[in-house]
Structure formats: C-alpha cells, structure tokens
Amino acid sequence: MVKDLRDFDRQDMEDLIAELREPKYRSNQLFQWVHKHGAELVDEMTNLPLSLRSKIRERADIFHPKVLEKLTSKKDNTIKMLLEFSDGETVESVIMPNEAKKRCTVCVSTQVGCPVGCPFCASGSSGFIRNLRTGEIVSQVLIAKSMEKDETWKVTNVVFMGMGEPLLNYDAVLKSVRILNDPLGLNIGQRKITISTAGYVPGILKLAEEKLQVVLAVSLHSVENEVRDFLVPLNKKYPLEELAWALKEYSKKSGRRITFEYSLIEGLNDTIECAEKLAAFVSQFKANVNIIPLNPVDEFGFKRSSSSKIQNFAAVLRNKGVETSVREERGLDIEGACGQLRLRYLQ
C-alpha cells in the first residue's frame, strides 16, 4: 500500500531514506519539500535525483486534499474551506487572518464527524465516521501556507478546534503537532498551538506526560453536571469532579495554564448565577476563560445570548478575578458555526 508522505515525521523520513540506501541528508531535503514547501508532487522535489524520486514514488506519494468549496467573509476575510480526502470524506478547515498584525490562525479538524455529539454543534450531527490521519491534519495547515504568497499575513498559529475531539485521535494529533513544530518544517512554536478537548480525561492525563508547551483549551460550557450532561454528553462518562482532578494533574505536570471555553446559550448557561459558579470552578486552576458568543445553527434551535448578557457575564468573571476574554466573532456571513458548511454539503 502506498503511504502518504505527509504522515511522515523526521524519523519516518530517515527510515525511508535508509531503506532506499540513500545518503542520510536526503531525508532532511525530503522533509522540507513535504512539510515546509508543501510539495504536492514528488517530481517537484528538484534537488532530489530522478532515480531517488522514482524509488520514493514506488513506496509513497503525497495525498493532497481537494478544496470542494471556499468561502471568504466580506466582513473580516475569514476563509472557510470544505476539503475532500482521497476516500471521499469531507471536513472543514478555517483560516483566520489578522492583517494588522500580519499573522494568521488556522483552525484544523481532527475527525470526520464527531463522536461527542454536543447538541448545539453541527460537527457531530451526522455522526462519527473516522479519525483523520496525521497527513490529513497537516495538509489543512499546508493549504493555508500555500495562500501566503498572495497575502500580507503568515501562518503563525494552529488551533485544533475544528471538527472532532482531538484527544480521541491522540496519536495523529500529537504527531501532527511535532511535525508542525519541527524547525525544518513550518516551525510553528508549541505555545502557538492550541489543542481543545470536550473533557476526555484519559487524553488529558496522557497529554500531561508529554511535557509540551501547547495550550490546552477545555470546552466547558457549564459547571453544573446536569446541564453539562446535556450540552457535552461526554460529561456523563467524565463528570466535572473527574475532569477537575485530571486538569489539576495536567497543570502540575505540564506547568501550563488552562483555557476554559464557554459558549453562551440563551436561557441555558448565561445567568449571573452561572457566571458566579463558573468563577468559583475556575478559581481552582491557573486559568483563563474565553467566552464564545454562540454561532447558532437554525435547525438546532439554540439561540445566542444578547450582547448585554455576554458583557454582564464577562464583567462578573472579571470582578471575581478571573482573566476573561470574549472571542471575536469570525465568519458569521459564511456559515461560521463549526460543521455547518459540511452539513449543508451532505444535505
């Protein structure tokens, strides 16, 4: 079976070149073509001999996803893409430029569909199909990188916040982090990489052992088990008490602060009392809260909280000493909710 070179990290490249009985330095050249220059064909690798390129093609190739749809926001230049892989499965990827600061964040998916099934999120509405391979994750960033030549921005940040639960695809996610961070590749700093989780405790504990400098973002949305059971069904298996214990272990072993993501939903989790309970929960950790105005999906029936409620909620947290930010809304005019573009395509 032909392998995808984008699945290969530096060690994999060295192993391949050794197997082909070629000089070791060729592995670094190969790595740079694949993971820095974003080559889509082996024959683009002009500093590799034709004979070597031929031998590589016998064992591996580059599987580049097809861009089925690309929407650009007229309001903030956010780019949302629907990508199709070689087996016909699709995911979304989002590019969020900040022209003023000449930087760009890429939001990548880690699974086709999502097994967590949060009722306000379109990602899991069609069920879970499969995990993405490392190369399929890395490709999302390389596609964004390929757009730099026509833009003022550079890819500086990657957030694993697209479709899927990253910690349920642990090995592929961790390998993609190491590839993206590699100095011979895109060299994206670990502190500029965010891994989100809905609260998968075994994955959090495993990540704690890696001693990485990445940002861990926990999709919290409520600090009451009954409400969180509904909003984040994974909470039924790993309730808040267990999640809190795992996060304390993570903080202790990694030395990193935690970001709590909190989507405000009208009438469910947006009262002053909810804010006070959230502040009490967060006070256990070295952490900050990122409040997310809900991107509503019409079919789901959830409504975003009013602007005044969002500001009042944030004010309560700040008055309690919690470092709080309200996420800038991006891509509202291009089906900004996660999974929304793919859902329309599948329908």
The confidence score (pLDDT) of residue 296 equals: 75
The helix (run of H) or strand (run of E) holding residue 28 is helix 25-35
Asked whether residue 247 carries a pLDDT value surpassing 60, the answer given is yes
Pick one of 1.10.150.530, 1.10.3720.10, 1.20.1740.10, 3.40.50.620 as the CATH number of 3-61.
1.10.150.530
* pLDDT over 80 (residue 341): no
| 330 or 218, greater pLDDT | 218
152-168 per-position pLDDT tens digit:
899 999 999 999 999 99
Give me the amino acid identity at 236: K
pTM of the full structure? 0.95
Give yes or no for residue 298 having a pLDDT over 80. Answer: no
Q: Is the pLDDT of residue 1 over 90?
A: no
User: Taking a C-beta distance cutoff of 8 angstroms, is the pair 335, 122 a contact?
Assistant: no
Mean pLDDT of 192-213: 98
Contacts of 298 (CB under 8 A, 6+ apart): none
CATH 3.20.20.70 fits 66-346, yes or no: yes
Instruction: Choose the weakest-confidence range: 202-211, 285-294, 301-310.
Output: 301-310
CA 107 to CA 169: how far, in whole Å?
Answer: 16
What is the torsional sign of CA 144, 148, 152, 154? positive
Q: What is the pLDDT of residue 336?
A: 56
Eight-state DSSP code of residue 230: H
79-124, pLDDT tens digit by residue? 999 999 999 999 999 999 988 889 999 999 999 999 999 998 888 7
Antiparallel, parallel or unpaired: β 79-84 and 90-98: antiparallel
Compute the average pLDDT of residues 15-36: 98
pLDDT at 9: 99
Q: Within the chain, which residue ranges are assigned CATH 3.20.20.70?
A: 66-346
Residues 6+ away with beta carbon under 8 Å from 274 = 222, 223, 224, 313
Q: Rounded mean pLDDT of the chain? A: 94
Range with the lowest mean pLDDT among 33-37, 61-65, 149-153, 206-210?
149-153
Instruction: With cut-offs at 50, 70 and 90, classify the pLDDT of residue 328.
Output: confident
Predicted local distance difference test score (pLDDT) of residue 308: 94
**% of the chain at pLDDT higher than 90:** 83
Burial zone of 25 (CB within 10 Å; 0-12 exposed, 13-18 middle, 19+ buried): exposed
Q: Where in the chain is the domain with CATH 1.10.150.530?
A: 3-61
- Tokens representing 299 are 């079919």
| pLDDT above 70 for 132 | yes
What is the set of active-site residues?
A: 92, 338
Reply yes or no on whether the pLDDT at 331 is more than 70: no
Q: How far apart are CA 132 and CA 200, in angstroms?
A: 18
